[in-house]
Amino acid sequence: MMDWTDRRCRAFHRALTRRARLYTEMVTADAVVFGPRERLIGFDPAEHPVALQLGGSAPGRLAEAARIGADFGYDEINLNCGCPSDRVQSGQFGACLMREPALVAEGVAAMKAAVAVPVTVKCRIGVDDQEPSEALPAFAEAVKAAGADALIVHARKAWLDGLSPKDNRTVPPLDYGLVYALKAAHPDWPIVLNGGLADLAAVRESLARVDGAMLGRAAYQNPELLLGVDPELFGEPAPVGDAFEALEAFCPVIAAGLARGERLHDFTRHLLGLFAGRRGARAFRQILATEAVKRGAGLDVLRAAMARVERGPAPQDGGLPGWDEARAEPVTSPS
């Protein structure tokens, strides 16, 4: 979720659920160690529970970055071994590491020695010509032996040679059965399922077979589904009554950001999936896409957009109008 789940996005998602664990976008270990740390990995305490996702392959550097993340207060350090982007391929990390379980195990062991918080790994079921039924169990055994506290599996192979990063999110077929079999082989070790989970019904179904479920694009593209997480999965009331209340709770966060010189669009670009299927949703998106990108735009623009949406219960169907499903990204004007 690089460039998506930044601290602004996470702040809004936390307004929708108290219990779901939030993950940062992947940040390279080198960037954490040598870059502007507060800008890259700073977060608000209200985001807890929140995990820092790292990219990298050098065990010593991963350990140093993990220590920095733990000192920042993150609840978990997660090593990404599943991202198929061009950037990670050139840097020999992300999904490339599916080919190097011994190196990943060394990195996990180094991070475990450096921090007291859980260290987890996110992976694919294999890459390129690997046979997933062989690659995934071998990878899992290696990172478990190194002390990984949990494994999050995106149940698709990544084709680093032949598919774009965008296509790698949807084209390779899902194989939930392989992940369920992995869990059966490791009943004492937390396994989390990721990939293709479109709603909470799918999450509930998966939780009968694995220990957790990770939502990515579904939660980003239709944030209102997060309102059901606390009541449906944890038996607790949602923090707000609806998406309108969530936006009102988010407004002070936006106001503080504007006071720091940030742009309204930095926040509202994460809101375009709201109100799918409601009357006025298209006008909501259009106002944000055209007006929030302008210099000096303030909360009055967001309130004007909200005023165009019909209130009432959220529709139970209707898809995600305003989204280009092939790109799996919000349709926005250039900023």
What is the spatial distance between Cα 67 and Cα 83, in angstroms, rounded to a whole number? 22
Predicted confidence (pLDDT) per residue in 136-148, tens digit = 999 999 999 999 9
Question: Is 294 annotated for ligand binding?
Answer: no
Question: Is 216 annotated for ligand binding?
Answer: yes
Question: Is 196 annotated for ligand binding?
Answer: yes
Q: Mean pLDDT check: name the lowest of 78-92, 176-190, 217-231.
A: 78-92
User: Does residue 322 register a pLDDT over 50?
Assistant: no
Predicted confidence (pLDDT) per residue in 34-72, tens digit = 999 999 999 999 999 999 999 999 999 999 999 999 999
pLDDT greater at residue 8 or residue 324: 8
Residue located via tokens 């979720």: 1
What is the spatial distance between Cα 164 and Cα 159, in angstroms, rounded to a whole number? 8
What is the spatial distance between Cα 175 and Cα 167, in angstroms, rounded to a whole number? 16
What is the spatial distance between Cα 79 and Cα 184, in angstroms, rounded to a whole number? 23
Confidence of residue 323 (pLDDT cuts 50, 70, 90): very low
Write the CA distances from 110 to 39, 57, 101, 122, integer angstroms: 25, 11, 14, 17
Question: Is 168 annotated for ligand binding?
Answer: no
Predicted confidence (pLDDT) per residue in 233-251, tens digit = 999 999 999 999 999 999 9
Q: Mean pLDDT check: name the lowest of 91-100, 180-189, 216-225.
A: 91-100
What is the spatial distance between Cα 272 and Cα 330, in angstroms, rounded to a whole number? 7
Q: What mean pLDDT, rounded, does the chain reach?
A: 90
User: Does residue 324 register a pLDDT over 90?
Assistant: no
Q: CA neighbours within 13 Å on the CB side: how many for 139?
A: 29
The answer to whether the beta carbons of residues 257 and 7 sit under 8 Å apart is no
Question: Is 194 annotated for ligand binding?
Answer: yes
Handedness of CA 28, 262, 222, 76 (dihedral sign): positive
- Transcribe 51-89 into DSSP letters: EEEEE---HHHHHHHHHHHHHHT-SEEEEEE----HHHH
Q: Quick one: tokens of 13?
A: 């998602």
Q: Quick one: tokens of 150?
A: 């949990």
Q: What is the pLDDT of residue 85?
A: 77
What is the spatial distance between Cα 111 and Cα 79, in angstroms, rounded to a whole number? 9
Q: Quick one: tokens of 251?
A: 């407004």
Q: Quick one: tokens of 58?
A: 């050098």
Q: What is the pLDDT of residue 90?
A: 63
CATH 3.20.20.70 fits 7-229, yes or no: yes
Question: Is 277 annotated for ligand binding?
Answer: no
Q: What is the pLDDT of residue 219?
A: 93
The residues that are catalytic are 83
Question: Is 217 annotated for ligand binding?
Answer: yes
When pLDDT is averaged across residues 311-329 and rounded to a whole number, the result is 47
**Cα 220–chain centre separation:** 8
Number of neighbouring beta carbons within 10 Å of residue 173:
9
Q: What is the pLDDT of residue 166?
A: 73
Longest dimension (CA), the chain: 56
The CATH 3.20.20.70 portion of the chain extends over 7-229
Confidence of residue 1 (pLDDT cuts 50, 70, 90): low
Question: Is 91 annotated for ligand binding?
Answer: no
Confidence of residue 326 (pLDDT cuts 50, 70, 90): very low
